[in-house]
Structure 1
Amino acid sequence: MRLIAALFAFLAFAAPLAAQPAAPAEAPVVAEARAFMSAYADALRAGDRAGIAGRYDRTGAFHLGNGRKSFESHARIQAIYASADWQPPHRFEWRDLSYEPVGADAVVIAGQFAWTPREGAEPLVYSYTALLRRQDGVLRIRLEDESTRPPRPAS
């Protein structure tokens, strides 16, 4: 009798779980975007200037952040990363990235990153949004928004 009662209890618990639909499979473009962002972080940490610039759309990219908007040609993006003005981070990490496919060949990414400019410095935390779209068979950055928190008012 205990065996039957245990069986009914198990079925009563397991039946609703079995009725739950399986989580949808991740879109292939999302898996590709995850790999892209991981390699992008590696390039930033390594200071791979050409590798970073090579991730951008060949027709150019929109850059937004902190109330600004510009469109830069791919040649200009290459020049920015080749310049001595751009310095790689001492440490870099993505935080809480979310991936939203917007078709088979594009994905929007939203999250944050922490950029530590030099040893002993506090990390700077930025919000981050990007649109990656497929170009020449690979994902490339078409739009990036990098914004920091506004400064705290002085007391």
Structure 2
Amino acid sequence: MNNIENIVKSVATKSKKDISIFKEIKQMDFVDIFPRSEVERIKLNNEAIKLGVVIEKTDRGVVYKLNNPIKTILGEILLVKIRKYDSSRLSWEGAGDFIVDDFEKFKEKHKDSPNCKFVVGQTYIAIEIKTENSLSYVMDIPTSQFYKV
């Protein structure tokens, strides 16, 4: 098993307990990987390019489509992003993006939940679910749909 596969599976395992209270969540769709250093970021990008292809370079990192999905307890992952090193993200190895059938209903139901925060990005709207163990996002549009994967 490679480092990326280990990290993706670890993110799924850590997220499973924390998201289990949200019955609407169907599966994990994408994983953002947070390098612990600039050296680790370079190593992870070198590994990712061997496992798949670059589909986007963003201001926060590089998105890869993997040649073979990583099977986790929360679904198969075909997309990962190796983030730029960010010292504010050292509490977690990564963050999973999750799919729900009806984002608006989910948002309305959980808007006042203590661990949930509404996040608006340039191309997405999400609910961030943050705990000591995991960082998860429920996206308005699944990441795989956004990238047409």
TM range, normalised to the smaller chain?
under 0.3
TM-score (norm 1): 0.23
Structure 1 or 2: more strand by fraction: 2
Q: Which has the higher contact order (CA 8 A, sep 6+)?
A: 2
